[in-house]
Chains A and B, each alone.
Chain A
Amino acid sequence: MNAPAPATTAPAPALVEGRGDVSAAVVDALRTGRPPVHDPAALLRADPWGEDLQLALHLLYELHYRGFAGVDDDREWDPDLLRLRRALETRFLHALRVDLRHAPRSVEEAFAPLLVEPVDLSGSVSRHLETDGELWQLREYAALRSLYHLKEADPHLWVVPRLTGRAKAGMVAVEYDEFGAGRAERIHARLFAGLMADLDLDTSYGAHLDRAPAVLLATVNLMSLFGLHRALRGALVGHFACVEITSSPGSRRLAAAMRRCGAGPAAEHFYAEHVEADAVHEQVVRREVVGGLLADEPELEPDVAFGCAATVLLEDRLGAHLLTAWREGRSALRATDGVTPAGS
């Protein structure tokens, strides 16, 4: 952590190419300033877990974060784009509810498996990286995770005005920590940029979007979906609690992976910091945020459980994708014409 951390507030990212009819229509609308033009049937045909729908949703959500170079900031509230986003969200949310129809509806049941340390870690990405990971796999992992970590904790901040009392105070305390507790150089997104620099990756926001497959985009879209809808505030809290509960042991393994591969001090520090920080955050989120929310609004319990289960589902799918590719010696990044894997 001696080198100055790179800034994360570079110019707005460049748009990427579409991956199907719907995402191409979004890209075209953003490039031209015109409303999106797409075949309504394409929307219904699109696989809710596929590249086209997940990229379209991601692009529309990004208008609420950093936007894109050459795209008017006002497009964030363009009714035509919002209408399309709503249609995509409906398909995404429906697909989640179908896949989670047998998931627990109580918070206790949803969190119980997360509060024990599994003996069998054969499906764990962090365990793989800790014991067998190679530097190129760490670089791919960081490039993919950068889609979230370079805006770390941003999607969760939207829930704050929808909370009161203990839940609000607890949420803001944790977010304050995420945003560096008043010190810009400690903002977690900036610590992650330091990790990326250690791994010789492009640290600019959105640089790795084109290489991120739908299975990764879905994990980030989930946070934006929950964060942007007050109706899903319970799910956002459940998601956040799930992340904080599972983070500490995973971060310890990832710090070990960075150390073993000689990734560099900033790379190791990012995860080492999260071992201790998230052990605290877990306590605050479970006791104050989840406990406070359910004291205020007990009817939201199934939503909290849903948010947790959705997070586990999408992280498990991402983990399976990464491990399958890496164990076959393949890149887990999305192939794009003539482009070598991120930063290599």
Chain B
Amino acid sequence: MPNEPAASRRVSLERGGPVVVEGPVEVVLEDGTVARSDRFAVALCTCRRSRTYPWCDTSHRRRERAPADHTPEEAGRP
């Protein structure tokens, strides 16, 4: 538990990336519907390209022609 009775909620910004907000979070969308996540932190999409909007799905990443010998592959992800 935080030491202070009303600890501030921390929001982290990164240029070109999502806004990371300490969870749980309710996001009120433009049409009035509410998206909810009870994760310890949530990454909110700011580029509007996410297919899981309002949550980030890394669609903000620049698309780039990789060197021929290097295609980063999903790595047995946890």
Using CB atoms and an 8 Å cutoff, list the residues of chain A in contact with chain B. Answer: 113-126, 145, 148-149, 152-153, 156, 173-174, 176-178, 181, 188, 219-220, 223, 240, 242-244, 246-254, 274-284, 287, 311-312, 315-316, 318-319
30 contacts between A and B (CB under 8 A): A116-B64, A117-B59, A117-B62, A117-B63, A118-B71, A118-B72, A119-B63, A120-B65, A120-B66, A120-B68, A120-B71, A124-B73, A145-B76, A153-B78, A173-B40, A178-B78, A223-B76, A243-B77, A246-B77, A247-B78, A249-B58, A249-B61, A251-B74, A276-B43, A276-B52, A279-B56, A280-B20, A282-B43, A315-B74, A315-B75
Asked if B3 is an interface residue, CB under 8 A from chain A, the answer is: no
- Given A119-B66, A279-B57: A181 and B39 interface contact (C-beta under 8 Å): yes
Q: Is the Cβ of B76 less than 8 Å from the Cβ of A118? A: no
- Residues of A within 8 Å of B61, CB to CB, are 115-117, 249
Which residues of B (9-48) have their CB < 8 Å from a CB of A? 12, 14, 17-18, 20, 37-43
The prevalent SS among residues of A at the interface is: helix
Q: Is the Cβ of B12 less than 8 Å from the Cβ of A248? A: no
- Residues of A within 8 Å of B14, CB to CB, are 283, 287
Q: Which of A124, A173, A242, A276 contacts B57 (CB 8 A)?
A: A276
Q: Is the Cβ of B75 less than 8 Å from the Cβ of A283? A: no
- Residues of A within 8 Å of B56, CB to CB, are 276, 279-280
A319 to chain B, nearest CB (A): 5
Q: Is the Cβ of A250 less than 8 Å from the Cβ of B77? A: yes
Q: What separation, in Å, do the CA atoms of A313 and B18 have in the docked complex?
A: 28
- Residues of A within 8 Å of B40, CB to CB, are 173, 176-177, 181
Q: Is the Cβ of A119 less than 8 Å from the Cβ of B75? A: no
Q: Is the Cβ of B73 less than 8 Å from the Cβ of A316? A: yes
Instruction: Please name the residue on chain B nearest to A148 by beta carbon.
Output: B76
Q: Is the Cβ of A246 less than 8 Å from the Cβ of B63? A: no
Q: Which of A126, A148, A281, A287 contacts B74 (CB 8 A)?
A: A126
- Given A117-B64, A254-B74: A279 and B39 interface contact (C-beta under 8 Å): no
Q: What separation, in Å, do the CA atoms of A318 and B55 have in the docked complex?
A: 30
Using CB atoms and an 8 Å cutoff, list the residues of chain B in contact with chain A. Answer: 12, 14, 17-18, 20, 37-43, 51-52, 55-59, 61-68, 70-78
A244 to chain B, nearest CB (A): 7
Q: What separation, in Å, do the CA atoms of A290 and B65 have in the docked complex?
A: 26
- Given A279-B18, A283-B20: A319 and B76 interface contact (C-beta under 8 Å): no
Q: What separation, in Å, do the CA atoms of A119 and B71 have in the docked complex?
A: 9
Q: Is the Cβ of B74 less than 8 Å from the Cβ of A246? A: yes
- Given A120-B65, A279-B18, A284-B20: A274 and B77 interface contact (C-beta under 8 Å): yes
- Given A116-B64, A276-B55: A284 and B75 interface contact (C-beta under 8 Å): no
Q: Which of B17, B64, B73 contacts A250 (CB 8 A)?
A: B73
- Residues of B within 8 Å of A178, CB to CB, are 78
Q: What separation, in Å, do the CA atoms of A119 and B38 have in the docked complex?
A: 34
- Given A117-B62, A243-B78, A279-B58: A287 and B12 interface contact (C-beta under 8 Å): yes
Q: Which of B42, B51, B71 contacts A124 (CB 8 A)?
A: B71
A250 to chain B, nearest CB (A): 2
B21 to chain A, nearest CB (A): 10
Q: Is the Cβ of A248 less than 8 Å from the Cβ of B76? A: no
B36 to chain A, nearest CB (A): 12
- Residues of B within 8 Å of A114, CB to CB, are 72
Q: What separation, in Å, do the CA atoms of A276 and B74 have in the docked complex?
A: 14
- Residues of B within 8 Å of A251, CB to CB, are 74, 77
Q: What separation, in Å, do the CA atoms of A164 and B2 have in the docked complex?
A: 18
- Residues of B within 8 Å of A311, CB to CB, are 75-76
- Residues of B within 8 Å of A252, CB to CB, are 51, 57
